[in-house]
Structure 1
Amino acid sequence: MSIQPIGPVAGPLRITGPAEVGGTAAPSGTAEVFGNLLTQGVDTLQQTQANADSLAVKAATGDLQDAHDYMAASTEAALATQMTVAIRDKAVAAFTEIMRMQA
């Protein structure tokens, strides 16, 4: 009786990212992935602000059943805007620092 190998042994696990992002093939470069993340973040910010705006209109017209919904959406939109501005400021500062580096 001899022992037969089961098959090739795989190497270490390599994480390559999702196969598809937004219905298209996965981006090949890090810059594209970063760009997609930024785009998704801005889209999410716009959706959050649109939700807060629609609840504000409902509150102004008297159609809003619970004022807490508007307050929560308004606070969420404000915090998302502040975070986006902070990320932008950090990115600009990092870019400026990179440009100051000597080759």
Structure 2
Amino acid sequence: MREIKFRAWHKPFKDNDFGAGYKYGNNVISFHDMSPEKYELEQYTGLHNDDGAELYEGDILLDPDTGYIVGAVEYREDGFWCGDDRLVDCIDCQVVGNAHERLEYLED
């Protein structure tokens, strides 16, 4: 049975450089900032890549054999995918960021 886990991305940090206005780890989020609409949940896929990293929705994967970005992990009706491939075919890929921090990888 697959372990069900989520990670959350705090949307107000999106498009802000850490250190410019926020200090990640030292920033205290007040109670009024904890409303659900300010977070995007990303589900754990139940898989790890070859480096042992847990794979979550939104992770951007690089194929080490070709040096090309495969895409971002996303959930579709029939499971987790990365680009045109089922995620199980991409577990030898490296996580190079996520869709919130490294959007430039997905723009090509």
TM-score (norm. length: structure 1): 0.19
> Which structure shows the bigger proportion of residues in strand conformation?
2
Which protein shows a greater Rg?
A: 1
> Which structure shows the bigger proportion of residues in helix conformation?
1
TM-score (norm. length: structure 2): 0.19
Higher RCO (C-alpha 8 Å, min separation 6)? 2
